[in-house]
Chains A and B, each alone.
Chain A
C-alpha cells in the first residue's frame, strides 16, 4: 500500500490510462441523450416547471453533459498516460464474460438450473485458465452448493428446466422443485 499524508490527498483519485477515451464516450452519450430531450419527454401545459415530467431528465442530462465536458477538458489538459489502447482492449475483452453471463442466463430455463450451473462453472473455470483436478472438482462442488443453497433451501424463484419434462415421474418432480 502506498501512503497518504494529508486529508486532501485522501479524497483525491488519480487518472489512469484510458481516461480520455472514457471521457469522450461519456460526453458523446450525454450529448446524444440531451439531444433527445424533446422527443423522449413530454411537457404539460399549465403545469409548474418543477413538476414537469421533463424537469428531472433535463436537470440530470444538462448536469451530466456539463460535468462530462469538464472531465474531458481535464483529461485533455493532463499529461498523457502510456497504455491507453491496451487498457481499452481490456475493456473490450470484458464483453466476452458479459456474453458468458447472458448465455448462462439464456440456457437455464431450457437446460435446468443444476445442469447449467455445473456445466457453466466447469467451462468458465477452464476458460479462466485452470486445469488442475482440485480446482475443477471445487468448481463442480461450488456449483452444486450454490444450487442447493438458493434453489433447494432458500427456494429462490428460478424457472425449472424444460429438459426435466423428459425425466421419469418421481425424479421429474424432485428436479422441478429443488434443482
Chain B
C-alpha cells in the first residue's frame, strides 16, 4: 500500500500531468488517423523524451500506446479502415453497424469495450505485481537469455507463411546490434574501417527509419486519398449500458488480451481473433457476426485494449519487450539508467506503481475526451494522406537529428526508411528487426555473464525456471512443426487477406 501511495506521489507533478494529457489525447488523435499509428508517434517522440524525467517520458509514451487503440476504432467503424492495425477486427462488425445507420451505437460500444478491456488489463497487472515481484528475482542471466531466445522464436513463428522472411529479418536485427566496438574485447565488428560505425548502429535511428520515415515514403509514393467520415450524433455514454448486457464476452475477451499480451509476437491479433471466435461460438445469434453484431465489436475492442498493460509485464519484470512499442520504451529506461528487470521491483517499485496508476488515469482521460470530441476526430481523419507523409517526414527529422545532431544518422535512417518501405510494400514484418536488435543484445550480454557458472551445456537448464523455459522453447517449436504438417495434410485452400497490411504502422 505504501508503494502504491509512493507511486501516486510520483505522478502528482504538473509535468507528469501534462505528459499524461498530451500522451493520452495525442494517442487518440494519432490512432484515429489511418496511416500514422502509435509506432510512428512513439518513434518520433522518443528522443524528445530523453531529456525528461523517466516518469514523465514514460507516461507520455505509455499514454500514446494505451490510447491509440481507442482512436483507431473510429475509422474502423465509420469508414472500414482501421486507424491502427489492431483495430482490424473491429471493422468486421463496426462498419456493418454504420451501414445499418447505427454508427453512434457502434462507436459508443467500441469506447465502452475499450475502457473495460483497458481497466481489466491494469487490474490484472496490479494483482499480478506481488507474484511478479516474487518470481522476477528468480530470473538470473541464463533464464533471461532463454526468455529472450523464446521471444525471438515466437516472433519468427508468429509470421506463418513468411517464416523464412521473418527469421531472416530477426537475424538481420541481431546482426545489426553486433556492429561496432565489442564492449568486452574492444575489437571492431563489421565497421569496414568506417569511424561512424565504431559506436554501432543506434536503435532509435533504426526505429525512426523503419517506422516513421518508411511510413512517410509509403504515403508519398502512393496515390493521395482523403477518407470521408460522417459525423456521429447521440450520447456516447449509451454504450456502457449495452456493454453491461455482454459483460461476460467483454471480460473473457479482456482475459484473452491479458494472457496473450504477455507473450511476445502478435498478442493483439491473436487475442482479438480468439475473443471474436469465442464470442461467436457462445453467442445466441452467431449468424449476426460480420453483419453488425455488438458482441463481435465488444470482443475485438476489449481484447486489444487489455494488451498494453499486459505487454508491460515482461518488460518491467524481465526487461524483455514482446513487441516494437515496448522495445522502444525500453530505450527510455536505459537512457535514464533505470534497468527494467528483477531489480526494478526491488529498487524502483514506486516507479512501477506510478506507471500502473498512469495507465488507469489515461483510460479515464481518454474516455472523457472521446465523449466530447468524437466528431472533431472525424474531421481530423480527413487529412490527405500525402500531406500526412510530408508532416511525418518533417517530424522524423526532429527525432533523428536531435539524438546526436548527426547527418550520418539521418542518412542511415533514410536508408532504413527505404528498407521499411520495401518491407511494407511486400507485406513483410518490420518488428522482427527491432526485436532482433533488442533481444539479440540481451542474449549476448546474458550468455556472456552466465558462462563463468557453466561447466557443461546442460548447466544452462539445471534450474527450475531455466528448465521450464527450455521446455517451452522445445514445445513451441514441436507444436509449430505439428501444425505445419497438419495444415499440409488438410490441404487448406490459399486465401489472401489484407489484415497485416497495416500492421507495420
Contact = CB atoms under 8 A, between A and B. Distances in A.
Interface in A7-54: 7-16, 18-19, 22, 26, 30, 33, 36, 40-42, 44, 47-48, 50-51, 53-54
Nearest to B80: A1
Given A14-B427, A56-B440, A146-B398, A93 B221 contact: yes
Interface stretch (B31-39, B126-134, B357-365, B497-505): B497-505
Interface stretch (B2-10, B186-194, B466-474): B186-194
A77 B395 CA distance: 42
Contact of A60 (B384, B440, B495): B440
B182 A158 contact: no
B92 A3 contact: yes
Contact of B387 (A67, A106, A135, A143): A135
B168 A56 contact: no
A122 to B, nearest CB: 9
A94 B421 contact: yes
Contact of A157 (B277, B390, B405, B425): B405
Contacts of B273: 4, 7, 10
B496 A4 contact: no
B48 to A, nearest CB: 5
Contact of A105 (B266, B401, B429, B496): B401
Contact of B92 (A1, A6, A56, A154): A1
A47 B12 CA distance: 52
A30 B51 CA distance: 37
B288 interface: no
A70 interface: yes
B422 interface: yes
Interface string B159-191: 111101101100110110010001011011111
B48 A53 contact: no
Contacts of A48: 451
A155 B185 CA distance: 38
A13 B91 CA distance: 20
B425 A56 contact: no
B80 to A, nearest CB: 6
B387 A130 contact: yes
B164 A71 contact: yes
Contacts of B187: 41-42, 44, 53
A150 interface: yes
Interface residues of B, number: 93
A33 B220 contact: no
Contacts of B495: 4-5, 9
Interface in A101-137: 101-102, 104-106, 108-109, 117, 120-121, 124-125, 128-130, 135
Interface in A58-87: 59-61, 63-64, 67-68, 70-71, 74, 87
B46 to A, nearest CB: 12
B458 interface: no
Contact of B499 (A4, A8, A42): A4
A174 interface: no
Interface residues of A, number: 83
A117 B394 contact: yes
Interface in A161-176: none
A151 B443 CA distance: 38
Main secondary structure of the interface of A (DSSP, over half): helix
A76 to B, nearest CB: 12
Given A156-B398, A158-B405, A14 B418 contact: no
B48 A101 contact: no
Nearest to B403: A157
A98 B171 contact: no
Contact of B160 (A8, A90, A105): A8
B417 interface: yes
B220 A128 contact: yes
B292 interface: no
A10 B220 CA distance: 29
A110 to B, nearest CB: 11
B174 A10 contact: no
Given A12-B161, A101-B417, A128-B220, A56 B444 contact: yes
Contacts of A41: 187, 189-190
A6 B487 CA distance: 11
Contacts of A56: 174, 178, 440, 443-444
B391 interface: yes
B189 A7 contact: no
A138 B277 CA distance: 44
Nearest to A151: B398
A5 B386 CA distance: 33
A102 B407 contact: yes
Contacts of B400: 105
B270 interface: yes
Contact of B159 (A6, A13, A106, A128): A13
Chain B CB within 10 A, most for which of A6, A13, A93, A157: A13
Interface string B254-271: 000000000000100110
Given A36-B192, A91-B418, A94-B220, 14 more contacts: A1-B92, A3-B290, A7-B277, A11-B269, A14-B496, A15-B427, A42-B182, A50-B451, A97-B221, A121-B390, A124-B390, A138-B387, A154-B48, A158-B402
14 contacts: A8-B160, A11-B161, A12-B161, A41-B190, A57-B175, A57-B189, A74-B164, A87-B425, A97-B220, A98-B217, A101-B414, A105-B407, A128-B386, A158-B401
